[in-house]
């Protein structure tokens, strides 16, 4: 299937190793391969190794598979590479097996011994074995010397999830990569092999859970958890299971009414609790390892417990009790705010909402409830501060929700590599611990600061049925990068970027450098030609693509910039504004509150300032707006020529596809530049110091 679909293999290309010496070394190491173990993902690990070695080394690896310990000795009948579960390899490789056991269910030990010439991969589980095989294949693809292979690792975040916003008619809310991979025409699609390929791709970067349907659960999707919907979902779950991925579902909070014929969905009504208990029994009778529910309640017109005068702890805990006997989770979203705000009413600040709703409930959620919190307080803008719920919630399981689908970051028509943005969020020090150190966002979602075992990271998926999965071939880097960061939130942007490039393309050194430079500068470029200094929005309403400075200014959505002839920005200080800055802890509250200390890139998120206000950079706000918009548009133009320099080194169809998108990006960036610059020139009447063309 892949041959006819440009970009389909993504980073699992397994293109032949070119270095002859290395090739010979690898071929020797895999002359005879022994596998020992079992489990759902075990067969996937075996087949992936065979597939990978055939592509990379051109050898048909003769994996001998058995449930018992293979013969460790070399020589006739002995193997050169051993892959197995710790319980089966314990007698042959005691040290590696003990280490693997200490790493838990998803960890692995991968080691080559130069003395014996043997390679061993051990894990306590079949899933860990699968992750180890993918790691080994990526090392081979990148030309790593066998003698350097000595890895013992486990994922740092237990639940690593992709949330699809797919509707059962096949459309995808905020989807920019074609139609749904899962649904079409009101039902689950027939599996044409793509689910398996998708699951492989996700497993290769350690993703271990997906939710296939939109958090906005409409009438038809509500029926997924019925006798008619579940058998087909069980088909999907079976494919995912082979790749260590659990299936979750978004559910409609009003299901007791829509499916159960009840008069309401009050979480304290025993009939409602009973409805969900019976529903859980039904679901688990079809999908024994079902992950749980994702719930968007009392948000953007979705039903929820507020209707019954109940709070979200009562709502979530009622569902949690139904899933608890099966080990299921309730992933309860904190994206709760008033979307019917009167723009005239300056006392309401949407940014405050999640904290105001959820902080008072800290400690009241059941153990199998995880609160899923968007990275920022508003909605996945190019730049937002980290949600102040992180650090403030101390007795609640938390999931960080990122958005890989580029709703507000160019809709996969613009190149915007989001890993550097996510890195900044993950490194944010929440100041939750006394002394204000040791409580970064990454440590919180690893479960190392507060309540932990169920902490999670999730991204809204950027995939669909487009040939290359992500619409824009270079947007694959965001999917790859999300998996890598979820596995290890300390991974660096440069390292993720260069690994993705190495695995996905065959570029010479200059080509690698050009592509890395494009990717690594793309988020800041996007930020600089769109809404300035953290103020956000300024996009066309509804579809959110392209500039429209006042598009949301007089709307009910709570997304304003308050530009007038004197200045721009939202006063969120305690002293004179909405008080949002006070939701942060310790020095963060002080920093954001203070006009003098607030970082430039978030200035207009926290303060309303005159255009003449001096930034830390030394520029006035208006000059920054002009400069950044000229520079951003220039960067987008530069991306085109950088990409052009790769012609001939990249598959033609992939090259053309990306080239067309980069052309569109540079045109769109010019439009952003001119609309934003003209708007602020007209408002302020202040000319560009550098005398560049600003349309009057
Ligand atoms: C799924 C934003 C998006 C909506 C999305 C919502 C959410 O408002 O524009 O499309 O709905 O976030 O995260 O629930």
Percent of the chain with pLDDT over 70: 98
Which DSSP helix (H) or strand (E) runs through 645? none
Q: Average pLDDT of 557-584?
A: 98
Which DSSP helix (H) or strand (E) runs through 100? helix 94-102
The pick from 165, 331, 353, 406 for probing ligand 1's pocket by mutation, whose C-beta has the most ligand atoms within 8 angstroms, reads 165
- Cα 612 to Cα 20, 101, 592, 674, 690: the distances in Å are 63, 61, 20, 20, 16
Q: What is the CA radius of gyration of the chain?
A: 26
Active site residues: 300, 379, 407
Of all protein residues, the one whose alpha carbon is nearest to atom 13 of ligand 1 is 335
Atom of ligand 1 nearest to the CA of 165: 1
Q: Is the pLDDT of residue 403 over 80?
A: yes
Say yes or no: CB of residue 379 within 6 Å of ligand 1. Answer: yes
Rounded to whole angstroms, how far apart are CA atoms 72 and 367? Answer: 44
Of all protein residues, the one whose alpha carbon is nearest to atom 11 of ligand 1 is 216
Closest CA to 305 of 294, 292, 293, 318: 318
pLDDT tens track for 154-190: 999 999 999 999 999 999 999 999 999 999 999 999 9
Q: Is the pLDDT of residue 62 over 80?
A: no
CA of 537 to the centre of ligand 1 (A): 14
Q: How many CB atoms lie within 10 A of CB 612?
A: 13
Quickly list DSSP for 459-513. EE----SSTTSSSSGGGHHHHHHHHHHHH-TT--HHHHHHHHHHHH----HHHHH
Which DSSP helix (H) or strand (E) runs through 408? none
Rounded to whole angstroms, how far apart are CA atoms 599 and 591? Answer: 8
Say yes or no: CB of residue 165 within 6 Å of ligand 1. Answer: yes
pLDDT of residue 76: 44
Using DSSP, state whether 124 is helix, strand or coil: coil
pLDDT class for 124, splitting at 50, 70, 90? very high
Closest CA to 408 of 520, 517, 548, 295: 548
Say yes or no: CB of residue 335 within 6 Å of ligand 1. Answer: yes
Decide: residue 231, CB within 10 A, 0-12 exposed, 13-18 middle, 19+ buried: exposed
Q: Are 529 and 451 in contact (CB under 8 A)?
A: no
The pick from 379, 462, 537, 557 for probing ligand 1's pocket by mutation, whose C-beta has the most ligand atoms within 8 angstroms, reads 379
Beta strand ranges found along 137-208 (DSSP E) = 150-153, 159-166, 183-184, 187-188
CA of 462 to the centre of ligand 1 (A): 14
Using DSSP, state whether 64 is helix, strand or coil: strand
Atom of ligand 1 nearest to the CA of 216: 1
Q: Average pLDDT of 12-26?
A: 94
What is the pLDDT of the chain when averaged over all its residues? 96
pLDDT tens track for 624-680: 999 999 999 999 999 999 999 999 999 999 999 999 999 999 999 999 999 999 999
Atom of ligand 1 nearest to the CA of 173: 10
pLDDT class for 73, splitting at 50, 70, 90? low
Rounded to whole angstroms, how far apart are CA atoms 284 and 307? Answer: 29
Q: Average pLDDT of 309-327?
A: 98
Which value, to the nearest 10 degrees, does the dihedral of the CA atoms of residues 526, 529, 535, 538 take? -100
């Amino acid at each position: 299937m892949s041959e006819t679909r440009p970009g389909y293999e993504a980073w699992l290309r397994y293109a032949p190793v070119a270095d002859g010496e290395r090739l010979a070394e690898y071929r020797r190491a895999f002359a005879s391969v022994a596998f020992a173990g079992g489990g759902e993902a075990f067969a996937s690990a075996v087949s992936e190794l065979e597939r990978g070695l055939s592509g990379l080394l051109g050898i048909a690896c003769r994996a001998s598979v058995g449930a018992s310990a293979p013969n460790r000795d070399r020589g006739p009948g002995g193997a050169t590479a051993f892959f197995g579960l710790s319980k089966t390899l314990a007698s042959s490789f005691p040290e590696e097996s003990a280490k693997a056991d200490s790493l838990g269910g998803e960890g692995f030990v991968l080691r080559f011994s130069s003395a014996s010439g043997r390679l061993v991969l051990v894990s306590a589980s079949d899933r860990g074995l699968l992750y180890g095989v993918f790691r080994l294949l990526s090392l081979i693809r990148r030309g790593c010397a066998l003698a350097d292979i000595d890895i013992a690792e486990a994922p740092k975040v237990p639940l690593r999830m992709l949330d699809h916003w797919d509707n059962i008619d096949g459309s995808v809310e905020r989807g920019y990569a074609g139609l749904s991979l899962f649904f079409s025409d009101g039902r689950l699609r027939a599996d044409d092999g793509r689910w398996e390929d998708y699951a492989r791709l996700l497993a290769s970067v350690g993703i271990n859970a997906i939710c296939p349907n939109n958090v906005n659960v409409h009438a038809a999707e509500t029926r997924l958890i019925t006798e008619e919907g579940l058998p087909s979902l069980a088909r999907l779950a079976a494919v995912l299971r082979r790749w260590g991925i659990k299936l979750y579902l978004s559910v409609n909070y009003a299901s007791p009414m829509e499916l159960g014929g009840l008069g309401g969905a009050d979480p304290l009504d025993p009939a409602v609790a009973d409805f969900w208990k019976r529903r859980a029994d039904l679901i688990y009778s079809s999908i024994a390892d079902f992950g749980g529910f994702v719930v968007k309640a009392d948000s953007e017109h979705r039903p929820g417990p507020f209707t019954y005068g109940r709070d979200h702890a009562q709502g979530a805990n009622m569902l949690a009790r139904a899933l608890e006997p099966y080990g299921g989770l309730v992933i309860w979203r904190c994206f709760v705010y008033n979307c019917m705000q009167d723009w005239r009413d300056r006392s309401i600040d949407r940014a405050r909402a999640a904290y105001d709703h959820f902080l008072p409930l800290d400690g009241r959620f059941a153990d199998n409830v995880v609160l899923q919190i968007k990275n920022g307080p508003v909605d996945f803008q190019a730049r937002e501060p980290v949600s102040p719920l992180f650090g403030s919630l101390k007795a609640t399981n938390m999931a960080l929700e990122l958005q890989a689908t580029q709703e507000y970051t160019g809709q996969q028509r613009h190149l915007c590599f989001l890993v550097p943005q996510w890195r900044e969020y993950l490194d944010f020090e929440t100041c939750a611990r006394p002394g204000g150190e040791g409580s970064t966002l990454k440590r919180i979602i690893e479960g190392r600061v507060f309540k932990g075992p169920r902490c999670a990271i999730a991204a809204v998926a950027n995939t669909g049925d487009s040939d290359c999965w992500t619409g824009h071939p270079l947007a694959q880097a965001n999917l790859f990068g999300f998996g890598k960061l979820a596995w290890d939130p300390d991974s660096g942007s440069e390292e993720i970027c260069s690994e993705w490039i190495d695995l996905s393309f065959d570029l010479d050194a200059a080509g690698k450098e050009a592509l890395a430079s494009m990717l690594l500068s793309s988020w800041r470029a996007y930020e600089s030609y769109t809404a300035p200094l953290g103020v956000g929005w300024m996009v066309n309403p509804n579809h959110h693509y392209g500039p429209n400075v006042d598009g949301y200014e007089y709307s009910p959505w709570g997304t304003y910039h308050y530009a007038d002839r004197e200045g721009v920005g939202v006063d969120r200080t305690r002293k004179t504004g909405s008080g949002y800055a006070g939701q942060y802890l310790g020095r963060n509250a002080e920093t954001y509150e203070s006009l003098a200390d607030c970082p430039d890139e978030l200035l207009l998120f926290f303060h309303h300032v005159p255009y003449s206000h001096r930034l830390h950079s030394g520029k006035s706000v208006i000059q920054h707006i002009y400069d950044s918009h000229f520079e951003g548009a220039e960067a987008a133009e530069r991306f085109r020529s950088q990409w052009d320099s790769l012609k001939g080194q990249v598959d033609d169809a992939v090259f053309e596809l990306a080239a067309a998108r980069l052309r569109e990006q540079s045109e769109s960036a010019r439009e952003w530049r001119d609309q934003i610059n003209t708007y602020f020139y007209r408002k302020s009447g202040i000319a560009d110091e550098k005398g560049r063309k600003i349309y009057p």
